[in-house]
C-alpha cells in the first residue's frame, strides 16, 4: 500500500514474485539443485502459481483504494470459501457446523462492505476476489502437500508471477526515487517468500486447527499499521464484520479438527 503511490501495480507484482523466487532459489537451491522444481503435480503447481498471482493482483489493486484493515478483513473469508469448495473440489463432506461458519463469514463481509450504504467502498469487493483466488490456491496446496516438499511448493508459488510479470514490467518500469524505496521494493519478495515457507512448515508440524487461528494476528497487524502509517481508524462496522469473519474461520478450524479426530 505504501509503495503503490510510487510504483505501478505491475511493477509491485513483479517485485513480489521475483523476490520470492530469488529467495527460494538462494535458500534451497544449493541443497536441492534441480530437484527443487521436480514435482509430482506440475499442472496443479502451475495453476496454484497463477492463482496466487491473481490473488496478489486483486489485493494490490484493492489496497490503492481501501484501508489495510478493510482489505485484510474481507480477505479472511478464504477459510469459509475453502470449506464451501471442499465438497465439489476435494470430495469432503460439509457438515452443519461448516455451513453455519460459511454463512457467518459471508454475513461478516456484508457488514464490512455494506452494499448500498453511502459510506460503502465498492473497491473492497476486490478483496473478495483476493479471497476467492486464495481459497482455490489453498485447496490445490492441500492436493500437492502430501507428495511435494514445502520448498518445492513455495518455489512454484512465485513461478507464474515472475514469468508473467517479467514480460510486462519493462513497459511500466518506474525507477525508485531513493535507495530506501528500492530496499522496500526488494523486501516485498523476501518477506513474502519467508511467510509462505513458514506457513508451509507450520502445517507440516501442527494440524490446521492449531495453525489457522494464528493467521488472525495479521488483522491486528493490519489495523496497527493502517493507523500508525496511513491514519486509518477502523469504524464499528469493520470491527463487527471482522468479529463475524474471525468467528467463522475459527468455527471452520474447529469443525475440521472434529472431522480429523473421527
Report pLDDT digits (tens) over 96-129.
777 787 788 888 887 877 765 544 577 788 988 9
Q: What is the predicted pLDDT for the residue at 233?
A: 83
pLDDT in tens, 32-88: 998 999 999 999 999 999 999 999 999 999 999 888 888 888 888 887 787 778 777
Q: What are the start-end ranges of the H helices in the chain? A: 9-32, 42-62, 68-75, 78-85, 96-113, 125-145, 150-157, 159-172, 179-205, 208-211, 217-230, 236-261
What is the CB neighbour count within 10 angstroms for residue 180? 9
For residue 192, pLDDT over 90 is answered with no
Computed over every residue of the chain, the mean pLDDT equals: 84
Q: What is the predicted pLDDT for the residue at 216?
A: 73
Q: What is the predicted pLDDT for the residue at 118?
A: 44
For residue 16 the three cell numbers come to 513480489
For residue 253, pLDDT over 80 is answered with no
For residue 142, pLDDT over 90 is answered with no
For residue 241 the three cell numbers come to 464484520
For residue 23, pLDDT over 80 is answered with yes
pLDDT in tens, 155-177: 999 999 999 999 999 999 999 98
Amino acid at each position: 500500500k505504501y509503495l503503490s503511490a510510487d510504483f505501478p501495480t505491475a511493477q509491485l507484482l513483479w517485485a513480489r514474485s521475483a523476490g520470492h523466487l530469488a529467495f527460494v532459489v538462494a535458500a534451497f537451491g544449493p541443497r536441492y539443485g534441480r530437484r527443487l522444481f521436480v514435482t509430482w503435480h506440475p499442472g496443479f503447481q502451475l495453476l496454484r502459481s497463477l492463482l496466487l498471482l491473481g490473488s496478489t493482483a486483486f489485493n494490490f489493486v484493492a489496497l490503492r483504494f481501501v484501508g489495510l484493515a478493510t482489505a485484510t478483513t474481507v480477505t479472511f473469508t478464504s477459510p469459509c470459501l475453502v470449506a464451501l469448495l471442499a465438497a465439489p473440489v476435494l470430495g469432503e463432506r460439509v457438515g452443519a457446523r461448516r455451513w453455519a461458519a460459511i454463512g457467518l463469514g459471508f454475513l461478516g463481509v456484508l457488514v464490512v462492505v455494506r452494499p448500498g450504504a453511502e459510506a460503502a467502498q465498492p473497491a473492497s469487493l476486490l478483496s473478495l476476489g483476493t479471497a476467492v483466488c486464495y481459497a482455490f490456491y489453498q485447496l490445490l496446496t492441500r492436493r500437492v502437500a502430501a507428495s511435494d516438499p514445502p520448498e518445492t511448493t513455495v518455489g512454484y508459488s512465485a513461478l507464474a508471477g515472475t514469468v508473467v510479470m517479467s514480460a510486462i514490467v519493462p513497459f511500466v518500469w518506474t525507477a525508485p526515487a531513493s535507495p530506501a524505496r528500492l530496499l522496500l521494493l526488494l523486501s516485498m519478495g523476501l518477506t513474502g517468500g519467508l511467510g509462505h515457507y513458514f506457513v508451509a512448515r507450520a502445517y507440516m508440524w501442527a494440524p490446521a486447527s492449531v495453525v489457522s487461528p494464528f493467521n488472525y494476528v495479521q488483522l491486528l497487524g493490519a489495523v496497527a499499521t493502517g493507523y500508525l502509517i496511513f491514519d486509518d481508524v477502523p469504524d464499528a462496522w469493520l470491527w463487527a464484520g471482522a468479529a463475524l469473519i474471525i468467528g467463522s474461520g475459527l468455527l471452520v478450524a474447529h469443525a475440521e479438527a472434529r472431522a480429523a479426530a473421527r
